[in-house]
Amino acid sequence: MQNKREMELGLSLGDAAAAAATSKPLGFMEKSTQLSSKLTFGSCMGLSIHTLQEDEDHKLIDDHNSSDNTNTRTAAIQASKTADTSTDPPVQLDLLPNTPVPRNQNTSLTLPSDNGINFESGSSGNMSRGFDVNRFSAAMVHEDQADQDGATLSSSPPNSATSSFQMDFCIYSSKGGSGSNTEAEQAERASSRASDEDENGSARKKLRLSKEQSAFLEESFKEHNTLTPKQKLALAKELNLRPRQVEVWFQNRRARTKLKQTEVDCEYLKRCCETLTEENRRLNKELQELRALKTSNPFYMQLPATTLTMCPSCERVATAATAAAATNATTTTATANNQNHTTDPTSKTTGLSLSSSRPRFYPFSHTQTHPHQPKA
DNA sequence: GGGGCCGGCTCCTTTACATCA
DNA sequence: CTTGATGTAAAGGAGCCGGCC
């Protein structure tokens, strides 16, 4: 289940933007060993308030305005920029691996997952399921590519960064578990089923991509979340898939990214809503108390604002003299609370302002003895 | 230059299948 | 073995855009 969670978190938020920023034709193929420098960028979702990501926000907004359900998102982002009430920083998910992926090593592609990235395409931790679609898709690749651009299917140059990767695919289906349900057998069954379906031509084929294929596509997606025809063909050739499969994978991957983005947006909005609700409740209470105070003791409200000070501990209004002692007594407590208004130096003296860090008034009669006033 | 047509692309929705608990 | 939940590959349609006539 941890893997599942990691997969969820691994879905990029805003990596589309990062990918767009670094988009170039198949750069990942040409310099796969240089990925590490880029992969440390991370990405920031479009909810940050007045940050450098604003441009990306606008991009996201524009993107999402094309769909019906994105008014909420736009409002969310705009609200997040205007209502600076959240106590949490903008959500930022770093979903790019911190370490380079050595594609030119003839090992199965195991990407670092210590930062929550899991390139496993499946939903469970069992990596042994599925079969290698290359077993029967290779012929289709030939057909498709011959149809589309007549590109030759010559293999990658020897010692290239991808040739060994491709070799890995070939041995993938021969690895794996013991017992009657090996991947090779699954591939066999799937292959025969696929050929059956090819014969009647009606049933759609559902193929599981191997984890290596998914990982490679994932890397590519980080480079650019959309594909040019050239890139598509190159990827298809590289992964021994049909171009249509690559295209569909990118479509679905973008959809997953967007879905995850929406979920995070919703979570953020939920927190904003809770914060604002609490703020509203507190202000209403404050207003009632001030009104009550005004009716019961008009003289109290005529005091200059600078003479009214709020005790940060009990949150009651005192005169400057009494509150000075109280503040000294409760500084430790106040600073321990990261949401406490006393972290704002302006909050110690009441200006009756309505700033976001305004003090809270729980007035008591100025004739009363302040509970935190040191006894003489 | 404006309009219609076409091809290609992306997005969205839905379906079908694989896998697991 | 069956079943429901979940993830995901794939299909189909709508909308947009650029090129062409």
Q: Is residue A167 in some structural domain?
A: yes
* CA–C1' A124–C6 (A): 10
pLDDT tens digits along A258-308: 888 888 888 888 889 999 999 999 999 999 999 998 888 766 556 555 555
3-state secondary structure of A317: strand
Average pLDDT on A102-117 reads 34
CB-based contact A326:A373 (threshold 8 Å): yes
Indicate if A260 and A334 belong to the same structural domain: no
When divided into structural domains, chain A yields a total of 2
Partners of residue A309 on adjacent β-strands: A318, A349
pLDDT digits (tens, 9 = 90+) for A170-198: 333 333 333 333 444 444 443 333 334 34
**Residue A132, Cβ neighbours under 10 Å: how many?**
27
Residue closest to B12 C1′ by Cα: A67
A332: tokens are 């430790």
Whether A79 and A32 share a structural domain: yes
Please determine, for residue A132, whether its predicted confidence score (pLDDT) is greater than 90: no
Distance separating alpha carbons of residues A151 and A134, to the nearest angstrom: 19
Residue A9 pLDDT grade (very low, low, confident, very high; cuts 50, 70, 90): very low
Identify the domain containing residue A366 by its residue range.
Answer: 302-376
Question: Which pLDDT score is estimated for A304?
Answer: 57
Give yes or no: residues A347 and A257 share one domain: no
Nucleotide nearest to A246 (CA to C1'): C9
Domain final position from A247, A269, A291? A269
Taking residues A77-101, report their average pLDDT: 37
Among residues A92, A10, A6, which one has the least CA distance to residue A56?
A92
The count of residues in chain A is 376
Return positions of chain C under 7 A from a protein CB: 6-12, 16
What Å value separates CA A188 and C1' C10?
21
